[in-house]
Amino acid sequence: MAFQTVQRQFLAHLRNSEKQPLPAGFAEQGAAVYAELLYNKFNDSLELCFPLSREILGAAGWRRLVKDFIADHCCTSPYYRQIPDQFIRYLQTERCSPSDPPFLLELAHFEWVELVLAVTVAEPVPAFTPGMAADSLQYRPLFAPIFQLLDYGYPVQRINAGYQPAIPPDQATHILGFRDRDDAVQFIELQPATARLLDILKSAACTVAEAVTQIAAELGHPDPAALSGFGVETMISLMRQGAILALIAQPESRHE
């Protein structure tokens, strides 16, 4: 038998010793040591990133999940840091286990986003002229360089060992994740209207007034100006919390 074939069979056994037989010529005790080392290598990275998921599943449930991940998922990256990324991909596209809590994917994703926000390299902040409070509606926000809007069916920010909902509530959960000026990761739970406002501002790079007008149209509100206070208050609040750095003037090209 070719040496490469034996290697592949041995690795298959290490990944899934319950289903893949140990090739002839290998000691079971030694193979078990290697299998445990492989498990620990993955588990060390995953436990750091997903502590709450592990707590909720319990030691046995967590070990089963990690072993399933090692056995079933073909990692596409050799980098240790990207093991959590591969784990999320596994949960999103391959994992199908009725015994898992129904919120497991969303909870794990929320935990993973914290890592992503912490390690992402920030883009340089461009030079800007701050907007004036008196006419802030005519400016657009300059968001923190590391900034992500998150939408979940379950209230992932409240799930813990004592609160594990079996079904999602009627209203979705909207969360803003960002890295502040001190490089600390922050999360803010948003009301639906605030989440929609930020989504428009982030994707369209428009003024606060334009975003408020669009929301008014979506809601069928007869008086868009009545929502102006909501737009201003949201900008002030998020600037105080560090998610928005400043209000800046629109590029002149938009008015040509």
pLDDT in tens, 176-206: 999 998 999 999 999 999 999 999 999 988 9
Sequence-distant (6+) residues with CB within 8 A of 4 are: none
Q: Assess whether 138 and 214 both reside in one domain.
A: yes
Q: Assess whether 179 and 243 both reside in one domain.
A: yes
pTM of structure = 0.87
pLDDT of 33 reads 77
Q: Assess whether 16 and 77 both reside in one domain.
A: yes
Mean pLDDT across 18-45 = 75
pLDDT of 128 > 50? The answer is yes
- The DSSP line for 1-37 is --HHHHHHHHHHHHH-TTTSPPPTT--HHHHHHHHHH
One-letter amino acid for residue 192 of the chain: P
- Structural domain contains residue 122: no
pLDDT of 172 reads 97
Number of domains in the chain: 2
What domain range is 47 assigned to? 3-100
Q: Are the C-beta atoms of 47 and 63 separated by less than 8 Å?
A: no
- Structural domain contains residue 127: no
Mean pLDDT across 82-101 = 95
pLDDT of 160 > 70? The answer is yes
